[in-house]
Amino acid sequence: MNIDLTSTYEDGLAKLNTWNSRYSSFELPHKIVLNIFYRKFTIDSMFERALNMHCATWDEGYERIMNLYGQVAAAEVHSNLEDWISQDIRVGAQRFSDFHQFIENARSGSEHGLAPIQYTYLLHRVLDELVVTWLAFTTTGLSPIDSITRLTNFEIETGQIDNYEKIESILDQLGAENELRKHML
């Protein structure tokens, strides 16, 4: 990938540490997964608007997308998240119910119960940063496919990329987990 994800990884670890000291061992697994979905619903909700932005530079595009992210999170996602979770609405390729067993394992005190949730949080944090970075490339006038090439160094053939789930899947297949593992060594 043509991006340094060190700060994304470190920010994810810092958030996990903050939540670890803030929440009980019963609350913590649910809160971590909830935060995965907070980010995913925000990106999904802003996706079309971000994809239609036009900016002179990648830096300007990234800044505008992050501003949009903050606005959408506050105005649209914050007040709806619990309802969407209770309705088990799919976002990207995930539903909150996909994580119920992991949450219950962690809550039961399983020695390895929390680790998979933390790993998944970091993986989705990296994956979502790749999506936002890709969106910033599209704001500069690059096509969705050329934006993937610029970000990953891979040339791919695919149909139209017009939703969060599609680009999330592509970037996952192109190595998001490998990017995370680079930082975990």
Per-residue 3-state assignment (H helix, E strand, C coil) for 63-90: HHHHHHHHHHHHHHHCCCHHHHHHCCCC
What is the residue whose two structure tokens read 């830096």?
A: 59
Q: Where are the domains of the chain?
A: 6-184
Residue 182 has pLDDT above 60, yes or no: yes
Note the Cα 42 to chain centre separation in Å. 9
> Which tens digits make up the pLDDT trace of 55-104?
999 999 999 999 999 999 999 999 999 999 999 999 988 999 999 999 99
**Mean pLDDT to the nearest integer, 101-122:** 87
Residue with more model confidence, 178 or 121: 121
Residue located via tokens 């695919």: 158
- Model confidence pTM above 0.85: yes
In 81-166, DSSP assigns E strands to none
Residue 42 corresponds to which amino acid? Answer: T
Indicate the pLDDT class of residue 112, thresholds 50, 70 and 90.
Answer: confident
First to last CA, the chain: 17
